[in-house]
Amino acid sequence: MIVGYFRPANIPSYRLAHDMPRIRTLALMTLTTGLLLVGCSSDDKTDSSSSDGGVTVTEATGGTKVDMVLSDTAGLDAPQTMTAEPLTAPAGKVTFTAKNTGTIEHEMVVLKTDTAPDQLAVDAEGKVSEDDSQGEIPEFPAGETKSVTLDLKPGAYVLVCNIAKHYGLGMRTGLTVS
């Protein structure tokens, strides 16, 4: 018996030596196949969001992810909030994922502007102009999460809920794209 060499008792040593090249080849092929699968896999991510009727909408996303929470405690009778994390992003694809944790419908509009988030002009309905809109997540009910991917250029942006009076109740935040 050779010291330091392990051989199962029921396999003759001449048989193990004969099969060793096959075992090495099989191990190498398995490793190579695994590496090829990992190397050829896609980096694209998908976000799912529920829409009316229980249908799930899936869209391809990429770039920087911005997680948002849109909230209120008592509809139009109390302050409302909109938070985003992070508040900065590199230019290019930015995926906004907004979760409505409030009690009523909300939306999220991305406006390119140098005006401070709390200084936008509002009309008689309490809405801001959407002339500088770069895209949006349309109105969606409480309890749902929606996503949109936009291609943003460097600059200052304001994210708002532009449903009547929501902006004035606090549903706004800034985003800097560099």
Q: Percent of the chain beyond pLDDT 70?
A: 65
- In the predicted structure, residue 73 carries a pLDDT above the cut 50: yes
| CA distances (Å), origin 59, targets 36, 149, 169, 171 | 26, 9, 31, 25
Pairwise pLDDT comparison (59 vs 118), residue with the higher score? 118
Domain ranges of the chain: 1-40, 60-177
| Distance in angstroms (rounded) separating the CA atoms of residues 143 and 81 | 15
Q: How far apart are CA 15 and CA 76, in angstroms?
A: 81
Residue scoring higher pLDDT (160 or 36): 160
Report residue 69 as tokens: 């929470």
pTM: 0.67
Q: Please name which of 177, 139, 138, 178 lies closest in space to residue 158, comparing C-alpha atoms.
A: 177
What does the DSSP 8-state code read for residue 102? S
As a CATH number, domain 60-177 is 2.60.40.420
